[in-house]
Structure 1
Amino acid sequence: MSRENIFIGVDGGATKSKVIIENSQGQLLGQTRGGPVALRLGVTNSWKVVLATIRMALAEAGLSLDDKRYDFHVGMGLSGCEITPKYNEFIATEHPFANLVLVSDSYAACLGAHDGADGASIIIGTGTVGYQIQGDKIIQVSGWGFPHDDQGSGAWLGLKAIELTFKWLDGRLQETSPLLEMIWERFGKDTSEIVTWSNSANSTRFAEITPLVLQQIENKDPIAIRLIQSSAKEIDAVGAAIVRRTDEQKALPCTLFGGVSHFIEPWLGEELKKRIVSRKHDATVGAILALKKRIKI
């Protein structure tokens, strides 16, 4: 008796993850969200979160990895795949799946956004990455890690806000700002607290400051507005670089992803704005598309 195929799509980033479950007909059976899954944050923990989240999604669908009537195939789009040792360690880990295909979260997002067709995507979440699929040609711009890259991202906005807070506290910045006052209050108006936190914070922690920036944009805080304008310029530069590297410099349709993208889009330049289209699917569907493309089920 042949087993029924079940397809699992995983989208994992530095802030959160999402899992969907589909049958062979593409029908959605279950979905759930989980914690951060980013290879740079640790392979062991990433597998722990992935498996726990997959099991929750399967339970919603009335399924279990222990059910021998099914073959479970998983496509994962995870942050940090560019770190080769982490990538190799992850795929070498023993797992319960009939097939595992691991691609970057950027690739999965782009593939899903255009339903497998050629196109570009810019993800503006905790990190920033521009990605384009044009036939067999893959282009990546930015997304090389924080703090040395990922300009324009949520983590970058948080970092820049903290930098300005220090300048405001020691008198280098004389402009009064509700944003900076809110950040100061967040740390109990204690210099040692903000210094200690800043010296140990990773991208996820810096991104926790970003909601304060976004809140003050709505209140028309000049410093918050300058920060979002600076972020938009960085994203414009990502979009322009993708076009320069495209065959015949043909500007392909581009989608925006990520929790910060909605706030940045109004501040983008016209060249990028006119290319933006609505995405067709998210990265979980893209991960399943990558899986089926690779293993030909």
Structure 2
Amino acid sequence: MPKPFFIGVDGGATHCLARIRDLDGHLLGEGVGGPANIHSDFPLAKESIRGATKSALAAAGLDEQSLRWAHVGLGLAGAGLKATADRLLSELTGFASVELQTDAYVAWLGAHQGGDGGIAILGTGSCGLAIVNGRRISVAGWGPEVSDEAGGQRMGREALRRTLWAYDGRAEKSGLTDALLTRFNRDPSRIVSFAASASSADYARFAPLIFKYASAQDPLAIKLVSEAAEAAVSIIDRLLAVGAPAVSLIGGLAEPVLSWLPPRLLGVITPPQADPADGALLMARRAFLRIDSVMQRAG
């Protein structure tokens, strides 16, 4: 009989990563897919997960028939909404087992390996999670419409909004507003057209440019980064207040935001022990061990 193996998927608003390991923990293959927020765009997320998994299988030298032996751990943005999560689980068949949690949960599991601690995800969106003495406390992460203040989506959207203010003469122009206007051929109507269909990931792609100009002391860029850092601080402070002994920063903005945080926090911010994809794999492995234990008792 073929040996079981594990697939861990870390899926966020911008992309997803699928990773395959064997029973001994050896890396077999990885694959990357597109956005995987099952709340924002369920069909796209499902296709992204499928594409990333298919690429990982190919890299591992496995075919789709082998999925019957796969124990899968999914950590996905939007999985905190029960109806959406249940829908996805009902459509995922043909695996040995499937575990579904939020992207924040697998980030915590990877970062702290199941021990007490907190994580702050600073990526396209932003959220926090602490698990202390078995109690789970979520912070922020209510979506781009009303939350995600420390994420790249908000930074990019606000940068474009304030570029239009500068174009109107309602705000000071800066190197950042000039650079952004140039990207749209100095035509503000193109910004409006872009915004009409822009995804969270589309807005977040402006974040590296904003950090670049902030490093060059551009006043608007400094304001935008400072606002994101303040939002991150509020998440971290809440995680510490509920008892997290340490907090790990996760996501594409984690490193650039770190230097903008107050010195008082640097002693409690610790590097993650593993990344979210390995957190998803650990979740899948735990499910396998539970199943294996039950089968051994029954046998």
One fold, TM greater than 0.5? yes
Amino acid at match of 1:18: L
Give the drift of 1:292.
3.0
Name 2:154's counterpart in structure 1. Answer: 156
Q: TM-score, normalised by structure 1?
A: 0.92
- 1:216 and 2:213 matched: yes
CA gap of 1:101–1:4, structure 2 versus 1, over 3 A, is same
Q: Is the 8 A contact 2:239 2:247 kept in 1?
A: no
Name 1:180's counterpart in structure 2. Answer: 177
Counting only pairs closer than 5 Å after superposition, residues 214-293 of structure 1 correspond to structure 2 as: 214-244=211-241, 246=242, 250-293=243-286
Give the drift of 1:284.
0.9
Q: Is the 8 A contact 1:147 1:156 kept in 2?
A: no
Mapped partners of 1:123, 1:259: distance in 2: 9
Structure 1: segments with no counterpart, 5+ residues: none
- 1:8 and 2:7 matched: yes
Tell me the SS of whatever aligns to 1:255: strand
Give the drift of 1:42.
2.5
What do residues 46-81 of structure 1 show as CA deviations (whole Å, max 9, x unaligned)? 22221221121111111122138x611110101111
- 1:52 and 2:51 matched: yes
Aligned-pair identity (%): 32
Mapped partners of 2:133, 2:254: distance in 1: 26
CA gap of 1:251–1:97, structure 2 versus 1, over 3 A, is closer
Q: Is the 8 A contact 1:116 1:289 kept in 2?
A: no
Mapped partners of 2:6, 2:59: distance in 1: 14
Q: Is the 8 A contact 1:251 1:275 kept in 2?
A: no
- 1:191 and 2:188 matched: yes
Q: Is the 8 A contact 2:7 2:284 kept in 1?
A: no
Give the drift of 1:6.
0.6
Mapped partners of 2:285, 2:130: distance in 1: 19
Root mean square deviation, CA, Å: 1.6
What do residues 12-38 of structure 1 show as CA deviations (whole Å, max 9, x unaligned)? 111111111111111111112221111
Q: TM-score, normalised by structure 2?
A: 0.92
What do residues 217-263 of structure 1 show as CA deviations (whole Å, max 9, x unaligned)? 2322121112111111111111112222x2xxx34111111111111
Residue 134 of structure 1 is aligned with which of 126, 132, 135?
A: 132
Mapped partners of 2:48, 2:235: distance in 1: 31
What do residues 264-289 of structure 1 show as CA deviations (whole Å, max 9, x unaligned)? 11111233222111111011111122
CA gap of 1:64–1:223, structure 2 versus 1, over 3 A, is same
